[in-house]
Amino acid sequence: MSAYDLEIGDDDAGVIVASLAGELDLTNARELEERLDSAAASDTVLVIDINRVVFIDSAALHVLFKLAKGRPNDRFVLLMGPTAAVSRTLDIVRMKDAVVILASLDDLERSGPG
């Protein structure tokens, strides 16, 4: 079983920030989906920081796409810098066409979703 860490918190504006680290794959995708889905109501902005994720497979990608599809566009954001280990994978699957991807929480505050 692959290991991952998930820390969930909120900021002053009521934005839920879920910080992920480790490996996301078939062995933990279902648990990840349940934890992220229950972390924030659909009318709340859910930000998922994937900068510390070192591996992601199709099952975990499916989770991200599914979560994004179930929320309004401005209520689901991925934080991922250009040097993140999984940035190339997300580029290949064209994640940016499905969700807002920002480099930092500061960018979120400037863009103003929610």
Q: Give the CATH number of the domain where residue 50 resides.
A: 3.30.750.24
Count: domains in the chain:
1
Q: Which pLDDT does position 104 carry in this prediction?
A: 86
pLDDT at 95: 95
pLDDT by residue for the chain (114 residues), tens digit each?
679 999 999 876 778 999 999 999 999 999 999 999 898 887 889 999 999 999 999 999 999 999 999 888 788 999 999 999 999 999 999 999 999 999 988 887 776 655
Identify the pLDDT of residue 73: 74
Domain of 89 in residue numbering reads as 4-111
CA distance 37 to 27: 17
Q: What is the pLDDT of residue 12?
A: 63
pLDDT of residue 112: 61
8 A C-beta contact, residue 72 and residue 40: no
In 1-112 the beta strands, taken as DSSP E runs, fall at 4-10, 16-24, 46-56, 76-79, 100-102
